[in-house]
Structure 1
Amino acid sequence: MHVEIFGNQQLSAVLFLHGGPGESCYEFVYHQAKRLSEIFHLVAIDQRGVCRSEEINSTEEFGLRDLVEDCEELRTQLGINKWAVIGHSFGGYVSLLYASAYPDSITKVIFECPTFDFSWTSKSLLRRASSVFLSLGDPNKSAECNSLATSDLQSKELFDQYLRLGEELGEKKAEIYRVNNLTSIDYSAYTDEEWELFADRTEIHLNRLREEGRMFESIVPLLTTLSVPSMLILGEADPVTCDSHIQAYDQISNGNKIMVDNCGHTPHAERPDLYGLIVSTFLLSDK
């Protein structure tokens, strides 16, 4: 598994879990590693089978639970007693599972634009995709997105339909997730051929999780069992953490919530300075 470690190991440890399924910690590290490593012992990973991590082969057993167990095994191998966890998007889903399974290993959890229910998220993404199709002059695809968003399809079917329609948007798919102030990022650390190889690995990771199906189970009920302090970081224009997620999070007793304005799905990249301040202030506080 690809692991990146920053900052003095005597500082409080923080684990970052990326989204997707199948994104990477590359973008987060690019924008946040220097900022956060001045205050924390930061650990960031490409989850099993993703991007720079070793490819999952066809005979290897792999499922959602492995992502949780990988976190705990990594903590043990690094000799970290406890750490805080930051989970972005699908990483928020994994973070909640991890905190629920191993509460004694975790000090605090930050959920950055998370999903806890793929049905809720898929419907919200479809509604946003509808708006993008309409802006591109395709009312038929726009109507199809809206129809799916109000349907009774199961979580996996909704997610698969969103993936299909998102692919049809091509580069315009980014408009679903972000506002126009995205901070630039340099991808030249790897060649185009290497990025293509990373994408192939990521596709295997995603498909194996889809086939297993456990990621489509709502884990919203776990929120009220969370025993460590947490924070929900929201992007003002983020479609992933929809109103249903926010209302569910509001039911927990030890939760904090903050909205980042002029921002979409990736506050760590769109508002990096503010994000670093929010994260460090919360993790260093007594709350």
Structure 2
Amino acid sequence: MLMEIRGTRLYVEQRGAEDAPPLLFIHGGPGAGSYDFLAFQGDRLSRSFRLTTVDQRGVQQSDPLIGPVSEQDLIADFEALRETLDIQQWAILGHSYGGRLALRYAAAHPDAVTKVVFENPGWDMVLASDALLKAALPLLPGVEARPHTGPATKAMWDERIALLAQLGDRRMEIYTGPDFRDLQLPADTAISDEYHARSGHFHEQITSSASFGEQVLQYFAQLSQPALLIKGEYDPATSAQEIELFRSDVPNGTYYYASGAGHFLHAEQPELYAQLVTDFLLS
């Protein structure tokens, strides 16, 4: 359903019993939407949780984006949604770019967030895109990528995304484990061209915002909540440097290495994923 949140309408789905422990899913992309995650985990996680998913402002089934947007806007939307739903506290789960937003949210609103799960997060946009390029370049003979120093910029991001686009139909080879190369993401065909266009516009705006280049790894030390990092063996997004910092700097952090899986553990090994999340959040 569409809910009025901070001057726009966000598409929100809720599954599970109202008295079950609340859990917010934060999608990645930027602009990926929640459709795929619900397809693989909606029924599974709603057995144990009051699962809430939201298409971020301007994304897919939410109202089209009007004007600029920042990561701070998205965090404020999540918090306003919690208040609108009359949820006192909830756990949060961020996938890919959504892990960056989950880190920001947990650090900014420690009293609202009970626990945090990160699935193959892209916390630092330079390090994340470095890792993506490292995975992609063996499939792109003759292509070179210039090193980037300093904070993330729009130009850096666009250049690197353009290189990844050259993978074409081989794109999933860097995102999935060898046993899951035929994985189909439902939103690729089930979501209308109009909704995909909304996501594209959101992607353009959020990567143009100053917030996209801001450093967030310093928030690790501020995480007061228990946090779980799930890293797929073949995931190309979360860098070794980020994993090391998570394991050293997060006061109450747990690390899980998912053998055989890639970037989409929630889709590649859905039963394992649901069990991991459930055990951690209910422990």
Residue 268 (structure 1) aligned with residue 275 (structure 2)? no
1:129 and 1:176 in contact (8 A); partners too: yes
Select which of 240, 258, 265 maps to 2:237.
240
Out of 192, 195, 198, the position equivalent to 1:198 is: 195
Does 2:11 match 1:9?
no
SS of the equivalent of 2:94 reads strand
Distance 1:39 1:171 in 2: 37
Note the 1:70-219 alignment, pairs <5 A.
70-133=77-140, 139-141=141-143, 144-145=144-145, 148=146, 150-152=147-149, 154-156=151-153, 157-182=155-180, 183-184=183-184, 186=186, 190=190, 195-219=192-216
TM-score (norm 1): 0.90
Across the aligned residues of Structure 1 and Structure 2, the Cα RMSD in angstroms comes to 1.7
Instruction: Specify which structure has the higher proportion of helix.
Output: 1
Unaligned runs of 5+ in 2: 1-9
Decide which moves more: 157-166 or 227-236.
157-166
Inter-partner Cα distance in structure 2 for 1:130 and 1:207: 24
TM-superposed CA distance for 1:51, in Å, is 1.0
2:32 is aligned to 23
Distance 1:123 1:185 in 2: 24
Letter in 2 for 1:247: E
Q: Identity of paired residues, percent?
A: 34
> Which whole-Å CA distance do the structure 2 matches of 1:169 and 1:100 have between them?
36
Cα offset, 1:195, TM superposition: 2.2
1:258 corresponds to: 256
Please give the alpha-carbon distance, in whole angstroms, between the structure 2 residues aligned to 1:166 and 1:4: 31
Q: 1:38 aligns with which of 42, 47, 51?
A: 47
Question: Cα distance, 1:186 vs. partner?
Answer: 4.5
How far the C-alpha of 1:18 sits from its partner, in A, is 0.6
How many pairs are equivalent? 270
* Residue 5 (structure 2) aligns with: none
Cα displacement string for residues 7-54 of structure 1 (whole angstroms, at most 9, x for unaligned residues): 001000000001011101111101111111111000011111111111
1:187 Cα deviation after fit: 5.1
Structure 1, unmatched stretches of 5+, are 134-138
